[in-house]
Amino acid sequence: MTFRFLPALMLLTAMVFAANANANAQQGTAHDTALPIEIAADALEVQQDKQIAVFSGNVDAQQGSIKLRADRIWVHYQGDAAEDATKAISKIDAEGKVFFSSGTETAEGDQGTYDVDNGVITLTGEVVLTQGNNVIKGNRVVFDLTTGQSTMDGDKSEGDGRVRGLFLPRRNGGR
């Protein structure tokens, strides 16, 4: 590794430990998007001219209780993190066996995007959302981390385009 990558690595370090100045405004939300994002992978390529860091191979990312796994992710950053680390990461794109977990639910898909600025995670492809023993399948799921609301769409290009769910009722006293 040469020293010309040192500024980019410093930028990534600053991004990981960045704290949002508006954290107090987000109290009481479903997820604190101001928490630092920790990323681990087998390899890292920094494309400083494009302001992108590409993590590949067994990628794990975590922000508080939110976990993301994928084969590869692209971290889009903006500005100079040394000057304004609070807004360094703007978006994370994920591809290949994308897995998202929030502690109470998990979702799998082919591709994913985490819009950090707006606190929205979108998974597309053959999406499977699991909450306990309940399973919902569709083509696209959107998680709003600020409100805690989720929506799922079916795939209208194939089949009947419907969202499918399997919900198991709780058993009370053997009934």
DSSP-based helix, strand, coil % in the chain, nearest 5: 15, 50, 40
- Structural domains in the chain plus CATH codes: 3-166 (2.60.450.10)
The model's pTM:
0.75
Residue 137's pLDDT band, with cuts at 50, 70 and 90, is very high
Q: Report how far residue 104's alpha carbon sits from residue 121's, in angstroms, rounded to the nearest whole number.
A: 15
Where does the chain have alpha helices with state H? 6-16
Task: Provide the CA 113 distance to its chain's centre, in angstroms.
Answer: 6
pLDDT, tens digit (0-9, with 9 covering 90-100), for 55-109: 999 999 999 999 999 999 999 998 765 555 445 889 999 999 999 998 888 999 9
Q: Which of 127, 119, 125 is nearest to 89 (CA)?
A: 119
pLDDT, tens digit (0-9, with 9 covering 90-100), for 8-44: 333 343 333 333 323 333 334 456 878 899 999 999 9
- pLDDT the model gives residue 172: 75
**Is the separation of the CB atoms in 96 and 73 below 8 Å?**
no
Amino acid at site 85: A
Non-local (6+) Cβ contacts of 42 within 8 A are 56, 57, 58, 59
pLDDT, tens digit (0-9, with 9 covering 90-100), for 54-63: 999 999 999 9
**Is the separation of the CB atoms in 87 and 33 below 8 Å?**
no
